């Protein structure tokens, strides 16, 4: 390929099949640098603006569209809310920092227009200084705290509504307008074989461990919260047509579904939501397109599939509900067993104990694909599902370059840390790729 910056005889350019290719390639360079390493919101914003520009979607480059799609403010009012202007100003300063430091030798630079939200990739002359960026409005930390409380409340309300509506019956997928962040995530090698046109995708939810004996309802506090059980019980009293073990599902698992559905509809994927028992009763499930969310304790077929992989679920011991994750082929000096947080005897200890999560992706001939994600806690599964739809998180934790050339199966093991009873962050501690 000819170097566009070198002197010589000009060649007739090949037709550009992807006009946004150079812009996306430069985006990868910025995301791989340290300048946005700890700025997840700015990473999402930059990815969104680049994808909108590369795809020519001008309707996504307005302040209102950015407020809704990037910052998830459904009732965003640009007259009353300055978050978009504030974050775009911060992004300009970060880009200026990048081109002064790590990107100082870059022959190109991304420029954000001064009074709008479009950007362009332009060539830099040797030694060209980075344009000065006017000081922007600084964010108020109280605004972020208020947004965090709002988001948690909105997520809980959404989960309750979805639980009452679905109750684990198969649900046909519907189509809505796509938003660039979901489309970016959908291109990742872990997601891409699962999505798009083809036979119906099965989204299987594991059944949590709830028990009923007469009028007494019992739960294991390490699996689900009291609120989950109360909500499930209310729905059961309205339905009451099938055994309890077939119908109960946690709000955390519905939260996981709420995270992945926008990605499914953005790629126009036809899907059905089924429960773990339906999943295990389906013949030859390993050769279908399946997204399995939840622990194998509710999906025996999932446990059988994982038994063939390097990381699998350990055989439960008598009196132990949680079995942990084992490495069937550990390297010398590496741990073999990743224990669940079952040292907890009182619920309050679950506020701080970490958990482990496992992501498994596996190809199956001729066109089957299997993607499984779970933690010992249902909250862990929901946290991982949400993270996997975030392009910035994927780029940092599961770089697509590591899967170049394809794979037969890949597994990632995460340690998920908890704070105040909620998942706080996930650290990848092991991976295994079979080519």
More confident residue, 160 or 353: 353
**Range in 13-17, 52-56, 118-122, 290-294 the model is least confident about:** 13-17
Question: What are 32-61's pLDDT values in tens digits?
Answer: 888 887 788 888 889 889 888 888 888 888
Q: Where does the pLDDT of residue 126 fall: very low under 50, low under 70, confident under 90, or very high at 90 and above?
A: low
Question: What is the rounded average pLDDT of the residues 145-164?
Answer: 42
Does 138 have pLDDT greater than 50? no
Q: Where are the alpha helices (DSSP H) in 21-82?
A: 21-31, 40-54, 63-69
Look at residue 359 in the predicted model and tell me its pLDDT: 94
Give how far Cα 32 sits from Cα of 74, 103, 253, 376, Å.
31, 11, 32, 32
Q: What is the per-residue DSSP string for 115-160?
A: TSS-EEEEE--TTPPPPP----PPPPHHHHHHHHHHHHHHHHHHHH
Cα(60)–Cα(52) distance, integer angstroms: 6
| Helix 40-54 vs helix 83-100: crossing angle, to nearest 10 | 90
Q: What integer pLDDT is reported at residue 223 of this predicted model?
A: 42
* Tens-digit pLDDT profile for residues 70-113: 887 777 888 888 888 888 988 988 998 898 888 888 889 999 88
pLDDT in tens, 167-215: 333 333 333 344 456 677 878 888 888 886 666 788 888 755 444 444 4
* pLDDT (0 to 100) of residue 288: 80
pLDDT for the residue 10: 38
pLDDT band at 360 (very low <50, low <70, confident <90, very high): very high
Give the pLDDT score at 6: 39
More confident residue, 333 or 361: 361
Q: Which residue has the higher pLDDT, 136 or 428?
A: 428
Task: State residue 314's pLDDT score.
Answer: 76
**Per-residue model confidence (pLDDT) at position 176:** 37
Q: Which of 212, 407, 406, 394 is nearest to 310 (CA)?
A: 407
**Average pLDDT for 11-15:** 44
pLDDT at 413 over 90: yes
* pLDDT (0 to 100) of residue 411: 92
341, 353 in Cβ contact below 8 A?
A: yes
pLDDT greater than 80 at residue 423: yes
The per-residue pLDDT for 34 is: 85
Structure confidence at residue 236 as a pLDDT band (50, 70, 90): very low
Closest listed residue to residue 296, CA positions, set 358, 231, 229: 358
Give 274-321 pLDDT, tens digit per residue: 777 677 666 666 568 889 888 887 677 788 888 889 998 876 544 444
pLDDT of residue 282: 67
Q: In the structure, what pLDDT confidence band is assigned to residue 412 with cuts at 50, 70 and 90?
A: very high
Name the pairing type of β-strands 271-275 and 201-205: parallel
Q: Tens of pLDDT along 370-385?
A: 899 988 777 888 899 9
**What pLDDT score does 399 carry?**
83
Strand partners, 119: 112
The number of angstroms, rounded, from the C-alpha of 256 to the middle of its chain's C-alpha atoms is: 9
| CB-CB contact of 326 with 336 (8 Å) | yes
- CA–CA separation, 159 and 147 (whole Å): 18
* Helix pair 40-54, 21-31: axis angle to 10 deg: 170
Q: How far is CA 433 from the centre of its chain?
A: 20
Weakest-pLDDT range from 7-11, 88-92, 321-325: 7-11
Tell me, what's the pLDDT at 334?
A: 83
Report the candidate in 294, 298, 304 with the shortest Cα–Cα distance to residue 379.
Answer: 294
Cβ atoms of 151 and 250 closer than 8 Å: no
Tally of CB atoms within 10 A around 31? 19
Residue 138's CB is within 10 A of a number of other CB atoms, namely 9
Cβ density class 185-210: b for 16+ within 10 Å, e for less: bbebbbbebbbeeeeebbbbbbbbbb
Q: Specify the DSSP class assigned to residue 208.
A: P
Q: Is the pLDDT of residue 414 over 90?
A: yes
Interatomic CA distance for residues 337 and 329, integer angstroms: 11
């Amino acid at each position: 390929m000819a170097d566009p910056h070198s002197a010589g005889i000009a060649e007739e350019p090949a037709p550009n099949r992807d006009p946004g290719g150079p812009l996306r390639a430069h985006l990868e360079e910025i995301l791989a640098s340290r300048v946005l390493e700890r700025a997840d919101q700015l990473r999402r914003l930059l990815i969104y603006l680049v994808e909108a520009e590369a795809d020519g979607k001008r309707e996504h480059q307005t302040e209102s569209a950015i407020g809704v799609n990037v910052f998830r403010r459904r009732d965003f009012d640009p007259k009353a809310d300055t978050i978009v202007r504030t974050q775009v100003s911060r992004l300009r300063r970060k880009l200026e920092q990048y081109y002064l430091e790590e990107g100082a030798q870059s022959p190109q630079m991304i420029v954000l227009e001064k009074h709008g939200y479009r950007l362009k990739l332009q060539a830099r002359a040797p030694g060209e200084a980075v344009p000065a960026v006017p000081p922007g409005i600084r964010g108020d930390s109280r605004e972020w705290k208020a947004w965090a409380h709002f988001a948690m409340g909105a997520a809980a309300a959404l989960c309750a509504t979805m639980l009452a509506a679905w109750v684990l019956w198969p649900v046909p997928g519907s189509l809505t307008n796509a938003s660039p962040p979901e489309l970016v995530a959908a291109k990742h090698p872990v997601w891409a074989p699962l999505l798009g046109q083809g036979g119906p995708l099965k989204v299987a939810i594991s059944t949590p461990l709830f028990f009923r004996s007469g009028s007494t309802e019992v739960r294991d506090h390490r699996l689900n919260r009291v609120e989950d059980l109360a909500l499930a019980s209310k729905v059961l009293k309205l339905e009451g047509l099938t055994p309890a073990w077939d119908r109960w599902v946690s709000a955390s698992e519905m939260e996981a579904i709420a995270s992945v559905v926008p990605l499914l509809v953005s790629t126009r994927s036809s899907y059905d939501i089924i429960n773990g028992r339906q999943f295990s009763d389906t013949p030859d499930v390993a050769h279908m397109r399946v997204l399995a969310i939840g622990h194998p304790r509710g999906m025996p077929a999932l446990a059988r599939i994982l038994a063939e992989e390097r990381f699998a679920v350990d055989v439960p011991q008598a009196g132990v509900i949680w079995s942990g994750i084992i490495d069937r082929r550990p390297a010398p000096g590496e741990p073999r067993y990743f224990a669940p947080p079952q040292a907890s005897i009182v619920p309050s200890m679950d506020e701080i104990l970490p958990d482990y999560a496992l992501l498994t992706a596996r190809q199956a001939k001729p066109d089957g694909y299997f993607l499984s994600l779970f933690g010992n806690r249902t909250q862990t599964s929901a946290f991982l599902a949400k993270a996997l739809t975030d392009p910035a998180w994927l780029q940092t934790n599961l770089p697509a370059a590591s899967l170049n050339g394809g794979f037969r199966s890949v597994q990632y093991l995460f340690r998920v840390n908890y704070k105040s009873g909620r998942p706080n962050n996930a650290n990848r501690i092991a991976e295994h790729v079979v080519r």
